Amino acid sequence: MNIKELTETVGLSRDTIRFYEREGLISSPSRKSNGYRDYDNRIVEQLNMIIMAKELGFTLKEIRELTELLYSNNLTQSQMGEKLLEKTSKLKLRF
């Protein structure tokens, strides 16, 4: 899908998506023969994870650390769940 379709799918601006791409928070999309980026469902899932993490109060630095662990296969789903629970517990204590 192109960037316009992706923005409509995930509800983020083109600039935000490109920022996440430059920062390495999402995988680099493949390119079509015309040079345009071609975003796939894997990137949609990555963006949805970032959106969810931000809603839970994760900073971009924390999201970067999580994504690096996930992409390197050094973080299991259960470990990810533990990190999410830990963060939500910290947030509950603040309020």
- Structural domains counted in the chain: 1
Q: Give the CATH number of the domain where residue 86 resides.
A: 1.10.1660.10
Q: Does residue 33 sit in helix, strand or coil?
A: coil
pTM of the predicted protein model: 0.79
- The count of other CB atoms within 10 Å of the CB of residue 38 is 15
Confidence tier at 21 by pLDDT (50, 70, 90): very high
- What 55-62 contacts at long range (C-beta under 8 Å, 24+ apart), as own/partner pairs, is 56/84, 56/87, 56/88, 56/91, 57/87, 57/88, 57/91, 58/87, 60/23, 60/25, 62/87
Range of the domain at 43: 3-94
H or E segment and range at residue 37: strand 37-38
pLDDT in tens, 40-82: 999 999 999 899 889 888 899 989 988 887 777 766 777 777 8
